[in-house]
Structure formats: structure tokens, C-alpha cells
């Protein structure tokens, strides 16, 4: 009989920043679900990948002096290394720069254009470069991008648009008729009430201001703008739009798209509408999980609180990290990553409960039976509690995973571990061992413990794959099939156990916390910022063409309708000038009045937002523009030359 297909996806990641523990979370969760589905007999397709186009990538590559493809190739190699370190068992890794994907996306775009769902117009709005999203005035939060909180720029360009509104009613009806489509439930209401019911705006789907993207075949000045390119990956990875569509036929529609809540709108509104327009079935479920927070807030590079999975794995091993993510974060809500809670959880659950169960059992089989697993010959009533719980646990785990309740699945497994530890205390094997007449009873107890460990190992293998292997080595079992959990007799009597190292050595909490703190400090000291390469060499004659002057700001006000701009009146000593400068997010007008600044005095005047700008004020900024400071020449007479 052929296996039932199961198709699960993670988002495709932007290769623009180093992946952190938050991104790792989605992928580890998808991996656990995939492994569990394989274990329980499904033919699984687990897709992940990278979302490689866009203005930001192009900019960074230009700054590094390499091609965008060279730039993304480097980062993608690092992402693949991270997934291998985290034991991620993806079946396919798609890159949006893959030929088959680009061709299929071009065909999708053309089809949507030919059937009238995409039309050409122009777009004027507020643009957030890091998010590659246009926003309307009303969507901005404190004049910044509502998604990432960073400043936006006014931008206008010719663009193609997707007629989203045409399909809105059909989508509302679909969501209402398919209660499982958007999960968790609360997120469904948010999508319906905040976006769909108030009315959908058409979506900008092409750009002309940069060229690192998939070209529109029939209008080459345009590249296909990020979401049509990115979302299509879920079907192009299966061969949709190419010659071999066997995987598409087998796996589409997807069983679940796992994503973070910030990209739910794209997955539950734009993506289904694209699919409706293409006449394709919608994914069965989109699950938007919460944020992984650090010290109560979002991780961000500028706050310096980004948790690096590589550091954690190097310090603790991969399974403790997987365990914390899967067990501690309620799947669907926000959760906290905290070093102290993490270490304490390793000590209590992994070291005390699981590690000790294994080491005690194997040690007793060695001590009392020369390492050979004894037969189950003298049963007592107390055994049934352990045996019944073991037999019930697979179903509990399976039900939890089917509802994507990963922490609950682990809880059920740890209940069994707890029950087995309690069984040791209740049966007191060390007392049975003192009485030769109770040898068979002692054998039965140790058989039951070995078999309980075999259950635990199979059940836990999807979540902590390395740990499961180590347990199997010590209890020397190769009987690891899911179906063997139907009966409590899969351990082979006479097998010789192999005592190994402790699964999880006990961690000294204070010492480890201090070590992590020291590591963090050392890393932040040594972490080299990405340095923007020095521009092409110029001669002193080239430089002497630039006339830099110390000027005093005598008046300053915002430019109406331009959130980033300030209009300054400056005194050069013998004349006054007006200069428009993009420093409004960093300075209030009153902060500048009376200050000396440096003016590029012989720059050709231009008009910015209708205002004359006679020169440019010098300012220095960090590479991500998060900090910007106007250059301060100190107290020199106005008109002084800077050279």
C-alpha cells in the first residue's frame, strides 16, 4: 500500500541577516513534525529554503563589491550548515534564484496578467526597504513601518498590481467554511476583521527601482516584487510550472505552512488569492506561531540581545536546544528564551528525569544480571500502571502532533518518563536484589524499565533524534518501529546492554551563566561590523573640487509632507542659504538651531519636495542607518574652510 503524502513547509528565509534562535524555532518545529509523520508511516515532503531577491540584497552586495548571487551563495551555505547542526531533516531546499523557480514564477506572472488579474499602474506610498513593503499613510505606526518599526521613505514608481479585491469575498467565504485553514483561531479573526472585511487594497507586484529580481518577461524594466516570487516557492519546489509535475500532483495542497505571525497576512490573504486566481487548491492549513522573546522583548541586532543558536549548541549540544524550543514555547503564542530557565530545564527534565532513568536502568541490569536483559516472568499489579501508560502514550503524542500541539506531545512523553522513575521507587529493585527468591521479580522490573525506555526512545526520536540514538545504543535495541509500540514486549530478552556516558551531564547553573555572560561579552568585543568597502581612489585635485565650510544653523523647520526632511537656514559668514537635509528622524529642529555644521557649499542646488536645497550637510551614520550624527566642526568662525 502506498504511503499517505504529507507536505509541510517553513517560510523561506531572507539571507540578509544571520539566522537567530527565533528563525531556528520554526524550522525545528517543522522538523519534529516531519520526523513524527515519517515515523508514523507518511510519505513526507518537508520544504525549506531561502528568499533571495530584493533591493536590500542588491544594496548589501554592491557595498561588498560582489554580485548579489555571490553574496547570497555565501549566506545560503551558512544557513545550510545551521540546519545540519540543528539536525533538520528537510527533503528539499529551494532557493528563489533556482532556474526552475524563476521560470515558473515568470509564467505565473504572465498568466495572471493575460487573464486580467494583474494590471499596470503606478504606486506612490511609504516604502520600508528592510521589509520591502509599501505602506499607506494610515498604516504607518508613529510614522514608521508597522512591521519592523524602522523609518520609511516616500516613493513613487510605475508598477504592476494584483487585483486582490476581486477575490476577497470568495476568500472570506472560504475561511468561514474551513475553520482549520487559519490557526490558531485568534489569528483567523485578526485576518478577517483587520484586513479582509474592511476591504483589500490591490497588491503591488513589480518594481523598477532595482533589478535584483525575476524579470517580467513582457516588460523588462520590471522585476517581480517579492511576495509573488516568494510565496510561489511552495508550488514551484514541487515542479509546478515545469515539465515534471509528479511531486506537485502528489503533495499539493500542502498539509501545513508553518510561519511566524508577522507573515500571516501574506500567507492567508495574498497567497490563497494567488492560488484562486491560478485555479489551484488552497493549502489545508496555515499555522502562525508566536514570537520567541528575549527578556520580554523582540530580539534585535541594535539591542544586542540576539540569541545565536550556534553558541547555544556549542555550549549545550543540539538536543537541549531543540527540547527547550519545542517544550517551553506554547506553540501558537509568544514564548521566552532565557538562559537560566533553559539550563534549569536541562537539569530537571533531561538530566534528572530522562538521563537518570536510563543510567539507573542500565546500571542495574549490569549489576544484577551481568548486563543481560532478563525475562518478564513474575508480574505484579503495579506493573500495569506503567505498562498501560506506555501503551496509551503513542496515541496521546500522535493526537497532539496532529493538532500541532508540540509541547503537549513532549509532556505526554515526560509523563511516561516520570512514571517509570516512580516505578523504580515503588518496586525498589535494590531491596529485591538482596533476596535470591525475588530474582525473577527483579528481572521483570528491569525488563519493564528497559521496555519503557524503548518506548521513550521511539516516542522522543522525532524531537530529540540524537538522544533517541544514544538510548538505543545503551539498551541495545534495533526495534524502533512505530508499530512495535502496540505491545509492551518489544525488548528482546537476552540482549546485552551497553553502558554509556550520561545522556545529559548535570550543569552548574551559576558557573554556566557566568560562562555564557563572558562569552557574550567576548563575542560583542570581537564581532566585526560589516565594513563598507572604501570607494575608488581619487586624487587630491578631485578632492579639492569639494568646498566644505563651517556654517551656523540659524533656523530649522520640518518640510511639510516629508517625514524625513528638515529645512535649515544656515549662515556662511557672508551669505545665508537654505538646505534640505534627511535628518528629521534623528534631530528635532530646535536641537540644531545655533549649532555649527559642515556644508558641502559648492554642490549644485536641487529642489527636494519643492524646496530649494543649496548644498548638503555632512553627517555620519552606522551601516544600517540606525544611528546618524551630524558632523560637528566645533566652535570655528562661520565660513571656515574644512580640508
131 annotated ligand-binding residue: yes
204 annotated ligand-binding residue: no
Region of 77-85, 230-238, 452-460, 589-597 interacting with ligand MSP (CB under 6 A): 230-238
Which residues neighbour 161 within 8 Å (Cβ) at sequence distance 6 or greater?
Answer: 118, 119, 120, 121, 123, 202, 203, 204, 205
Which residues neighbour 27 within 8 Å (Cβ) at sequence distance 6 or greater?
Answer: 10, 48, 83, 86, 88
Residue 326 binding ligand MSP, by CB under 6 A? no
Among 12, 44, 318, 401, binds ligand MSP (CB under 6 A): 12
Residue number with CB closer to ligand MSP (230 or 456): 230
Residue number with CB closer to ligand MSP (274 or 420): 274
Residue number with CB closer to ligand MSP (48 or 206): 48
Binding mask 25-64 for ligand MSP (x = CB under 6 A): xx------------------------x-------------
Residue 14 binding ligand MSP, by CB under 6 A? yes
The one-character DSSP state at 216 is P
What is the smallest separation between the CB atom of 23 and ligand MSP, expressed in angstroms? Answer: 4
Spatial CA neighbour of 611 closest among 571, 578, 573, 570: 578
Q: What are phi and psi of 53, to 5 degrees?
A: -95, 175
Region of 18-26, 409-417, 452-460, 591-599 interacting with ligand MSP (CB under 6 A): 18-26
> Cell 542495574 belongs to which residue?
364
**139-146 own/partner pairs: CB under 8 Å, 24+ apart:** 143/563
Residue 46 β-bridge partners:
8
Q: Binding-site residue total for ligand MSP (CB under 6 A)?
A: 19
Q: Is 502 helix (H, G, I), strand (E, B) or coil?
A: coil
Sign of the alpha-carbon dihedral angle for 566, 571, 572, 574: positive
CB 164 within 8 A of CB 200: yes
**CA distances to 119, 552, 581, 582, 611 from 585, in Å:** 35, 20, 11, 8, 19
Residue 237 binding ligand MSP, by CB under 6 A? no
CB 513 within 8 A of CB 316: no
**CA distances to 135, 148, 161, 187, 204 from 138, in Å:** 8, 16, 20, 22, 17
Residue number with CB closer to ligand MSP (25 or 463): 25
Among 72, 204, 237, 299, binds ligand MSP (CB under 6 A): 299
What is the smallest separation between the CB atom of 26 and ligand MSP, expressed in angstroms? Answer: 5
Residue 190 binding ligand MSP, by CB under 6 A? no
Residue 22 binding ligand MSP, by CB under 6 A? yes
How far apart are alpha carbons 460 and 331 in whole angstroms?
Answer: 18
What is the smallest separation between the CB atom of 307 and ligand MSP, expressed in angstroms? Answer: 9
**Edge-to-edge strand list for the sheet holding 133-135:** 133-135, 118-128, 153-162, 203-204
Residue number with CB closer to ligand MSP (330 or 639): 330
Residue number with CB closer to ligand MSP (14 or 447): 14
**96-100 own/partner pairs: CB under 8 Å, 24+ apart:** 96/12, 96/49, 96/50, 96/51, 96/52, 96/53, 96/214, 96/229, 96/230, 96/233, 97/52, 97/53, 97/69, 97/72, 100/236, 100/239, 100/241, 100/242
148 annotated ligand-binding residue: yes
Region of 19-27, 320-328, 513-521, 582-590 interacting with ligand MSP (CB under 6 A): 19-27
What is the smallest separation between the CB atom of 500 and ligand MSP, expressed in angstroms? Answer: 35
Residue 394 binding ligand MSP, by CB under 6 A? no
- Cell numbers at residue 448, please? 519493564
How many helices and strands (H and E) does the chain possess? 23, 25
Region of 291-299, 364-372, 455-463, 565-573 interacting with ligand MSP (CB under 6 A): 291-299
What is the smallest separation between the CB atom of 360 and ligand MSP, expressed in angstroms? Answer: 37
What is the smallest separation between the CB atom of 597 and ligand MSP, expressed in angstroms? Answer: 37
What is the smallest separation between the CB atom of 295 and ligand MSP, expressed in angstroms? Answer: 12
Spatial CA neighbour of 298 closest among 21, 616, 630, 582: 21
What is the smallest separation between the CB atom of 230 and ligand MSP, expressed in angstroms? Answer: 4
- Cell numbers at residue 562, please? 516629508
Residue number with CB closer to ligand MSP (329 or 583): 329
What is the smallest separation between the CB atom of 261 and ligand MSP, expressed in angstroms? Answer: 7
Q: What are phi and psi of 443, to 5 degrees?
A: -60, -45
Region of 5-13, 167-175, 213-221, 436-444 interacting with ligand MSP (CB under 6 A): 5-13
351 annotated ligand-binding residue: no
What is the smallest separation between the CB atom of 92 and ligand MSP, expressed in angstroms? Answer: 14
**Which residue sits closest to ligand MSP, CB atoms considered?**
260
How far apart are alpha carbons 258 and 23 in whole angstroms?
Answer: 11
Residue 11 binding ligand MSP, by CB under 6 A? yes
Residue number with CB closer to ligand MSP (263 or 420): 263
Residue number with CB closer to ligand MSP (40 or 236): 236
Among 28, 292, 326, 459, binds ligand MSP (CB under 6 A): 292
- Cell numbers at residue 87, please? 539536525
Pair type for strands 292-294 and 335-337: parallel
Among 112, 259, 273, 373, binds ligand MSP (CB under 6 A): 259
Pair type for strands 133-135 and 182-183: unpaired
CB 463 within 8 A of CB 410: yes
Region of 257-265, 279-287, 314-322, 537-545 interacting with ligand MSP (CB under 6 A): 257-265
Residue number with CB closer to ligand MSP (132 or 586): 132
Among 151, 239, 260, 283, binds ligand MSP (CB under 6 A): 260
Residue number with CB closer to ligand MSP (267 or 454): 267
Among 88, 112, 230, 449, binds ligand MSP (CB under 6 A): 230
- Cell numbers at residue 598, please? 559642515
Applying CB under 6 A, which residues contact ligand MSP? 11-14, 22-23, 25-26, 51, 230-231, 233, 259-260, 262-263, 291-292, 299
Residue list, annotated binding site for Zn(2+): 128, 131, 145, 148
Amino acid at each position: 500500500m502506498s504511503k499517505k503524502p504529507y507536505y509541510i513547509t517553513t517560510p523561506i528565509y531572507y539571507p540578509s541577516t544571520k539566522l537567530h534562535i527565533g528563525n531556528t524555532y520554526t524550522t525545528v518545529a517543522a522538523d519534529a513534525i516531519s520526523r513524527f509523520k515519517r515515523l508514523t508511516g507518511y510519505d513526507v515532503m518537508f520544504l525549506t529554503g531561502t528568499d533571495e531577491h530584493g533591493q536590500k540584497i542588491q544594496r548589501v552586495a554592491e557595498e561588498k563589491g560582489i554580485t548579489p548571487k555571490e553574496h547570497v551563495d555565501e549566506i545560503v551555505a551558512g544557513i545550510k550548515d545551521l540546519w545540519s547542526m540543528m539536525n533538520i531533516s528537510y527533503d528539499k531546499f529551494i532557493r528563489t534564484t533556482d532556474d526552475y523557480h524563476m521560470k515558473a514564477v515568470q509564467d505565473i506572472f504572465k498568466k495572471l496578467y493575460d487573464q486580467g488579474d494583474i494590471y499596470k499602474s503606478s504606486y506612490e506610498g511609504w516604502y520600508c526597504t528592510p521589509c520591502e513593503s509599501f505602506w499607506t499613510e494610515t498604516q504607518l505606526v508613529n510614522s514608521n513601518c508597522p512591521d519592523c518599526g524602522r523609518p520609511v521613505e516616500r516613493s513613487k514608481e510605475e508598477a504592476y498590481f494584483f487585483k486582490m479585491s476581486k477575490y476577497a469575498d470568495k476568500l472570506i467565504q472560504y475561511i468561514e467554511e474551513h475553520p482549520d485553514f487559519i490557526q490558531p483561531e485568534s489569528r483567523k479573526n485578526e485576518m478577517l476583521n483587520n484586513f479582509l472585511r474592511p476591504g483589500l487594497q490591490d497588491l503591488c507586484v513589480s518594481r523598477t527601482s532595482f533589478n535584483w529580481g525575476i524579470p517580467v518577461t513582457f516588460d523588462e524594466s520590471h522585476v517581480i516584487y517579492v511576495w509573488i516570487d516568494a510565496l510561489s516557492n511552495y508550488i514551484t519546489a514541487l515542479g509546478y510550472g515545469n515539465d515534471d509535475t509528479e511531486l506537485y500532483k502528489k503533495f499539493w495542497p500542502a498539509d501545513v505552512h508553518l510561519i511566524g505571525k508577522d507573515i500571516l497576512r501574506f500567507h492567508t490573504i495574498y497567497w490563497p488569492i494567488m492560488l484562486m486566481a491560478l485555479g489551484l487548491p488552497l493549502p489545508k492549513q496555515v499555522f502562525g506561531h508566536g514570537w520567541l522573546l528575549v527578556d520580554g522583548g523582540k530580539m534585535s541586532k541594535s539591542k544586542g540581545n540576539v540569541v545565536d543558536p550556534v553558541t547555544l549548541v556549542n555550549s549545550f549540544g543540539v538536543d537541549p536546544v531543540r527540547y527547550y524550543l519545542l517544550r517551553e514555547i506554547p506553540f501558537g503564542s509568544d514564548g521566552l528564551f532565557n538562559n537560566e530557565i533553559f539550563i534549569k530545564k536541562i537539569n530537571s527534565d533531561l538530566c534528572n528525569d530522562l538521563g537518570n532513568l536510563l543510567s539507573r536502568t542500565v546500571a542495574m541490569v549490569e549489576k544484577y544480571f551481568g548486563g543481560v536483559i532478563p525475562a518478564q516472568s513474575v508480574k505484579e499489579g503495579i506493573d500495569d500502571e506503567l505498562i498501560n501508560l506506555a501503551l496509551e502514550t503513542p496515541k496521546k503524542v500522535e493526537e497532539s502532533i496532529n493538532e500541532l500541539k508540540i509541547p503537549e506531545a513532549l509532556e505526554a512523553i515526560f509523563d511516561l518518563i516520570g512514571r517509570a522513575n516512580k516505578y523504580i521507587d515503588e518496586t525498589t529493585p535494590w531491596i529485591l536484589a538482596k533476596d535470591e527468591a525475588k530474582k525473577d521479580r527483579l528481572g521483570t522490573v528491569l525488563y519493564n524499565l528497559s521496555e519503557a525506555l524503548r518506548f521513550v526512545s521511539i516516542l522522543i526520536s522525532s524531537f530529540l533524534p540524537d538522544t533517541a540514538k544514544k538510548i538505543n545504543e545503551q539498551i541495545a535495541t534495533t526495534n524502533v518501529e512505530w508499530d512495535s509500540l502496540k505491545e509492551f514486549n518489544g525488548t528482546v530478552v537476552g540482549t546485552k546492554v551497553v553502558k554509556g556516558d550520561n545522556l545529559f551531564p548535570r550543569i552548574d547553573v551559576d558557573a554556566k551563566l557566568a560562562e555564557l555572560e563572558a562569552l557574550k561579552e567576548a563575542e560583542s568585543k570581537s564581532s566585526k561590523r560589516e565594513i563598507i568597502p572604501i570607494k575608488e581612489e581619487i586624487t587630491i585635485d578631485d578632492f579639492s573640487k569639494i568646498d566644505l565650510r563651517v556654517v551656523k544653523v540659524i533656523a530649522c523647520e520640518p518640510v511639510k509632507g516629508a517625514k524625513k526632511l528638515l529645512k535649515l537656514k544656515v549662515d556662511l559668514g557672508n551669505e545665508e542659504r537654505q538646505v534640505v537635509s534627511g535628518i528629521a528622524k534623528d534631530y528635532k529642529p530646535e536641537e540644531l538651531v545655533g549649532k555649527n555644521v559642515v556644508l558641502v557649499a559648492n554642490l549644485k542646488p536641487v529642489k527636494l519636495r519643492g524646496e530649494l536645497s543649496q548644498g548638503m550637510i555632512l553627517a555620519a551614520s552606522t551601516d544600517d542607518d540606525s544611528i546618524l550624527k551630524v558632523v560637528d566642526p566645533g566652535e570655528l568662525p562661520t565660513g571656515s574652510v574644512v580640508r
